[in-house]
A and B are shown apart, each in its own frame.
Chain A
């Protein structure tokens, strides 16, 4: 079991409020990603759940039990750190076994569990090596091995892939997701990379300025962003925002259209007219940055190759059903 509930969790460092009251329900076995810009409090929130920081207010329930006064080790969670935090003088075996050894598990039991974990993570040939003799991806796997061997109620990941190169990151992303599904253990994963968030998560919590802006499945966030921040943060390239007269016509202060929901037409009728200022041809996609006068620079995404070049006149036609409307306070207006 690994059901985690946050009830009005707050954290201040002196006069600075880092977490301004977070409420969250994390179902057993689900993969939840905390995503947000730097300094939004996502790592702090994770550390509060881990018990590495004390809460200023509120409650953290793990399987219904309030754990705010329980020391980290007794919460039954395990954590993968950004720097991996492997013990440099211990072998891979020693690193993975350390938690079990501290828990007083018998030697045979430790060996059996360590070897099972190593086999799951393809670490068996490296068991007797020291961390400094391993590559980045292998160290990452040792850190994960150290987490899974204790059979925790939940895994906590603190930006674990940010030190890896792009190719390895994609590979580890898949491995982590697959492993989590296979073990069926609850996982909380902190990242600033929205692609990681969208691909790995069952549910995403978008954080900004110490508040949870929205909590929902990746597609929910993509299709029904609760406010301007979430709309702008989720999706790449970023959603286009238009204010002024055009928005008023739709009964909103701001309207937003994603680049992939703008139909591009050469010298077409209707829609918004503009001039291509930059065109990025990726083969699979074409990104157009269109200077649309009063609406500012709009981004459009065309699937496939589109033979347009800077200076060409285009018109952009938003799909009516895909226009997001936001009110004065930035909240989404639902029809």
Chain B
């Protein structure tokens, strides 16, 4: 029971933590907004001056911006599609009773524990390398020319690496959901004459709607800000082919040393993330309602 006293006590006790979190958030945001209105280049110290919205105009009209926005959306969309389309059957397989299942499950989940830089390096140097990579060796076995992945299909390569990292996450969430599916419901469907495919479409898939929503929401949050994999493998190139918004902001700040423009870009990214979140919640969020 929340009496007025306990409410007051709760608020008083919570205040320091909330205040700290608020300062933690508001100081960087305020500074970013402040920097975004300055001409502020690290290569030109002492020349800081107020330029209004000039940095935003510069960032938004930069052809790199639209290219990187498109790359971001393609990357997020593809990884989401791949992880769910492959995650559902994988989870169905892992839900079966087979010998050695615990080891198989562990192996499937392992990629998620490898840090992004390491897995990107493994893919770049051990798997996709056109001279010494495993894929090149396999292609050679069949007498085919090796593919220079990061030159010929750079965005696809990055998508492949990131999907490999996130597939275990989707599989894991979907697997736990499958295990909570009532056995009697499946049997009822069996009695009702539903084939395996019908059971999947009418019983299993609707049951998975909610976990799929969770996967989409969580993955989107993390995939909008993918950076390490791009930095390690392609450095945003060739040209702008693998530059996403996060990488573009990085290159503004730490390659061109333009703090003002990078800050403006950061704010644009915040707005974009909110727009994506808004649409996501509108489209899939109703699945979360009990």
A residues apposed to B, CB below 8 Å: 50, 52, 71-74, 77-79, 81-83, 85-90, 98-99, 102-103, 146, 150
> How far, in whole Å, are A99 and B188 apart by their CA atoms in the complex?
9
With A89-B206, A89-B207 known as contacts, the answer to whether A81 contacts B184 (CB < 8 A) is yes
What residues of B have a CB within 8 angstroms of the CB of A89 in the complex?
Answer: 206-207, 209
B residues apposed to A, CB below 8 Å: 182, 184-185, 187-195, 198, 202-203, 206-207, 209
In contact, B182 and A72 (Cβ under 8 angstroms): no
Instruction: Give the contacting residue for B193; candidates A52, A73, A79; CB below 8 A.
Output: A73
**Supplied contacts A52-B190, A89-B206, 7 more A-B pairs, CB within 8 Å:** A78-B191, A85-B184, A87-B206, A89-B209, A99-B193, A102-B193, A102-B194
Kindly provide the distance from the CB of A190 to the nearest chain B CB, expressed in whole angstroms: 14
Chain B residue at minimal CB-CB distance from A73: B193
Kindly provide the distance from the CB of B205 to the nearest chain A CB, expressed in whole angstroms: 10
With A72-B191, A73-B191, A73-B193 known as contacts, the answer to whether A85 contacts B207 (CB < 8 A) is no
What residues of A have a CB within 8 angstroms of the CB of B209 in the complex?
Answer: 89
> How far, in whole Å, are A88 and B209 apart by their CA atoms in the complex?
12
With A78-B191, A99-B192, A102-B193 known as contacts, the answer to whether A83 contacts B203 (CB < 8 A) is no
The CB with the most chain B CB atoms within 10 A, among A83, A98, A103, is that of A98
What residues of A have a CB within 8 angstroms of the CB of B198 in the complex?
Answer: 102
What residues of A have a CB within 8 angstroms of the CB of B185 in the complex?
Answer: 85-87
In contact, A83 and B193 (Cβ under 8 angstroms): no
Instruction: Give the contacting residue for A79; candidates B182, B188, B195, B202; CB below 8 A.
Output: B188
What residues of A have a CB within 8 angstroms of the CB of B194 in the complex?
Answer: 73, 98, 102
With A87-B203, A146-B192 known as contacts, the answer to whether A52 contacts B187 (CB < 8 A) is yes
In contact, B191 and A79 (Cβ under 8 angstroms): yes
> How far, in whole Å, are A13 and B37 apart by their CA atoms in the complex?
75
> How far, in whole Å, are A77 and B187 apart by their CA atoms in the complex?
13
Instruction: Give the contacting residue for A81; candidates B188, B193, B195, B203; CB below 8 A.
Output: B188
What residues of A have a CB within 8 angstroms of the CB of B190 in the complex?
Answer: 52, 71-73
> How far, in whole Å, are A90 and B182 apart by their CA atoms in the complex?
15
In contact, A83 and B182 (Cβ under 8 angstroms): yes
> How far, in whole Å, are A146 and B191 apart by their CA atoms in the complex?
11
Chain B residue at minimal CB-CB distance from A150: B192
What residues of B have a CB within 8 angstroms of the CB of A88 in the complex?
Answer: 207
With A83-B182, A85-B185 known as contacts, the answer to whether A103 contacts B193 (CB < 8 A) is yes
Instruction: Give the contacting residue for A87; candidates B187, B195, B202; CB below 8 A.
Output: B202
Chain A residue at minimal CB-CB distance from B198: A102
In contact, B191 and A77 (Cβ under 8 angstroms): yes
Listed A/B pairs (30) with beta-carbon separation below 8 Å: A50-B191, A71-B190, A72-B190, A72-B191, A73-B190, A73-B194, A74-B193, A78-B191, A78-B192, A79-B188, A81-B187, A81-B188, A82-B184, A85-B184, A85-B187, A85-B188, A87-B189, A87-B202, A87-B203, A87-B206, A88-B207, A89-B207, A90-B202, A98-B194, A98-B202, A102-B192, A102-B193, A102-B194, A102-B195, A146-B188
What residues of A have a CB within 8 angstroms of the CB of B206 in the complex?
Answer: 87, 89-90
With A83-B184, A85-B184 known as contacts, the answer to whether A98 contacts B207 (CB < 8 A) is no
Chain B residue at minimal CB-CB distance from A143: B188
Kindly provide the distance from the CB of B286 to the nearest chain A CB, expressed in whole angstroms: 13
> How far, in whole Å, are A81 and B185 apart by their CA atoms in the complex?
9
8 closest A-B pairs by CB: A73-B193, A99-B192, A85-B184, A85-B188, A89-B206, A102-B193, A81-B184, A85-B185
Kindly provide the distance from the CB of B190 to the nearest chain A CB, expressed in whole angstroms: 5
> How far, in whole Å, are A77 and B190 apart by their CA atoms in the complex?
11
What residues of A have a CB within 8 angstroms of the CB of B187 in the complex?
Answer: 52, 72, 79, 81, 85
Kindly provide the distance from the CB of A74 to the nearest chain B CB, expressed in whole angstroms: 8
What residues of B have a CB within 8 angstroms of the CB of A146 in the complex?
Answer: 188, 192
> How far, in whole Å, are A88 and B184 apart by their CA atoms in the complex?
12
> How far, in whole Å, are A77 and B191 apart by their CA atoms in the complex?
8
What residues of B have a CB within 8 angstroms of the CB of A86 in the complex?
Answer: 185, 188
What residues of B have a CB within 8 angstroms of the CB of A73 in the complex?
Answer: 190-194
What residues of B have a CB within 8 angstroms of the CB of A72 in the complex?
Answer: 187, 190-191
> How far, in whole Å, are A73 and B206 apart by their CA atoms in the complex?
22
